[in-house]
Amino acid sequence: MISADLVVLANRLPVDQVTEADGSTTWRTSPGGLVAALEPVIREQRGAWIGWPGNADADIDPFMLNGMQLVPITLTACEVEEFYEGFSNASLWPLYHDLVAKPEFHREWWDAYVRVNRRFAERAAMIASEGATVWVHDYQLQLVPQMLREMRPDLRIGFFLHIPFPPAELFQQLPWRRQILEGLLGADLVGFQLSGAAANFVRLVRQRVGHRTQRDMVHLPDGRAVRAAAFPISIDTAGFTELAASPPVAARATEIRRMLGHPAKIFLGIDRLDYTKGIYPRLRAFAELITDGHLSTEDAVFVQVATPSRERVEQYRLLRDEVDRLVGRINGDLGRIGRPAISYLHSSYPREEMAALYRVADVMVVTPFTDGMNLVAKEYVACRLDDDGALVLSEFAGAAQELRQAWQVNPYDIDGIKAALLDAYHADPKEITRRMRAMRRTVREKDVDAWAARFLDELMGRPAPRP
């Protein structure tokens, strides 16, 4: 029987299943920053990670990996549809991202969300040791804090939301708004990417639940106090820098430039294929610069990597068709033999390939309509070992608050994106270095380890729960 002093809950387990040469399957920790930060803490603290392995009806026993106890949660095919694709990614995701797509609300989806959240909470209640610390992650699990507190009042519970938290005007559309707020209030500490999101939450709690609030504190009638504050997440900076500096990655970067035909400058976008990422306006802006005669396919190429994501959700299918059509049209109109305007890759790549792409990109283009943080922007900065490379960054990405020296753009303003791309393209190398050096200092000082330590220190420092 597992007993853990630190329990992490996230919708996904931090592992991927890999098939060996002999056909057997094993697990490998996935390359995400969250696991890089939490693995050492989990190992030290006899910790466990509860999550979904990523496929339907997989009934897997808990197992150990790299000193972490991994506890898989089973979702039926129907729950994958209603809890994951439905309520999490077709109701909450668009609602929390500024209605970039229209959220759908269905009562069966909500019922599945409650049921799956309860399953996660029950599992945590079973394995957490007396007085343990529990850290719940992201929008898929917002009811867990309250459910868990009811089952185990001895636990210290933290929650962190990785995506934006919407203003009251949008949040209140949610038919189950009160339940979500109360779910989150089960935590002792509720963390957000930005202070504006924490303020949205506190204001909603005051207006909709009627609790007394004071700055970043919510005072509950039973005497408990909940703190809501910003903890901007970051990346494994040292890991990325080291990878970018490795000889195979350097060689691969040179090879990529050669394969692209040695254009004067390479523009790069790397995103999950998601409608919040603003892939469409950035490609249009780039294409118009060619049409207008400001750039030519001899001078510039745009490499766009779009990682497949949530492919069974309708809005994601529509987006894929839209991007396919746009890329086809741009290349058909503007490309020449061996010189496409856009090199489009609908695929996911290992970290090494990403690092090579970051190294080779002269202008990195990150234009989400809204984004909790956007780690791609920080990864690019971490990989620019020579303090060069220009970052064009949406004002509406959380990262824009820290990466102030980027060329910041409004992703809804195509002319503004065009101007920024051109400015970055022609920028004086000294100017580029001045900006990149400052941004590199930021990501070096504030990495994902510092983020996790700050959150956990703050959580441990909260008053001990009453027995």
Site residues, ligand G6P (CB under 6 A): 11-12, 138, 162-163, 309-310
Question: Residue 352's Cα: distance from chain center in Å?
Answer: 19
**Cβ distance to ligand G6P smaller for residue 66 or 309:** 309
Dihedral sign from CA coordinates of 460, 130, 228, 217: negative
Min. distance of Cβ 373 from ligand G6P in angstroms?
A: 9
Min. distance of Cβ 85 from ligand G6P in angstroms?
A: 9
Q: Provide the 3-class DSSP secondary structure of residue 175.
A: coil
Region of residue 382 (left: phi > 0; alpha: psi -120 to 50; beta: else)? alpha
Q: Provide the 3-class DSSP secondary structure of residue 363.
A: strand
- Residue bearing tokens 């779910």: 183
Min. distance of Cβ 10 from ligand G6P in angstroms?
A: 7
Min. distance of Cβ 303 from ligand G6P in angstroms?
A: 22
**Cβ distance to ligand G6P smaller for residue 312 or 426:** 312
**Cβ distance to ligand G6P smaller for residue 138 or 447:** 138
Q: Where are the beta strands (DSSP E) in 154-296?
A: 156-160, 189-192, 212-214, 217-219, 225-230, 265-272
Q: Where are the beta strands (DSSP E) in 63-199?
A: 63-65, 68-72, 128-137, 156-160, 189-192
Residue nearest to ligand G6P (CB): 162
Cα–Cα distances in Å, from 264 out to 295, 296, 361, 381?
10, 10, 11, 20
**Cβ distance to ligand G6P smaller for residue 84 or 286:** 84
Min. distance of Cβ 15 from ligand G6P in angstroms?
A: 13
**Cβ distance to ligand G6P smaller for residue 11 or 297:** 11
Min. distance of Cβ 198 from ligand G6P in angstroms?
A: 17
Q: Both tokens of residue 268?
A: 């790069």
**Cβ distance to ligand G6P smaller for residue 314 or 415:** 314
- Residue bearing tokens 């005007």: 169
**Cβ distance to ligand G6P smaller for residue 310 or 435:** 310
Min. distance of Cβ 75 from ligand G6P in angstroms?
A: 12
C-alpha to C-alpha distance for 51 and 72, rounded to whole angstroms:
5
**Cβ distance to ligand G6P smaller for residue 155 or 375:** 375
Min. distance of Cβ 295 from ligand G6P in angstroms?
A: 32
Contact partners, residue 346, CB within 8 Å, separation at least 6: 273, 306, 308, 320
Contact partners, residue 376, CB within 8 Å, separation at least 6: 270, 271, 364, 366
Q: Both tokens of residue 369?
A: 């309509």
End-to-end CA separation in angstroms for the chain: 24
Min. distance of Cβ 89 from ligand G6P in angstroms?
A: 6
Cross-sheet strand order for the sheet of 4-12: 63-65, 68-72, 47-52, 4-12, 128-137, 156-160, 189-192, 225-230, 217-219, 212-214
Contact partners, residue 251, CB within 8 Å, separation at least 6: none
**Cβ distance to ligand G6P smaller for residue 91 or 213:** 91
Min. distance of Cβ 380 from ligand G6P in angstroms?
A: 17
**Cβ distance to ligand G6P smaller for residue 29 or 296:** 29
**Cβ distance to ligand G6P smaller for residue 16 or 431:** 16
Min. distance of Cβ 161 from ligand G6P in angstroms?
A: 8
Rg (CA), the chain: 23
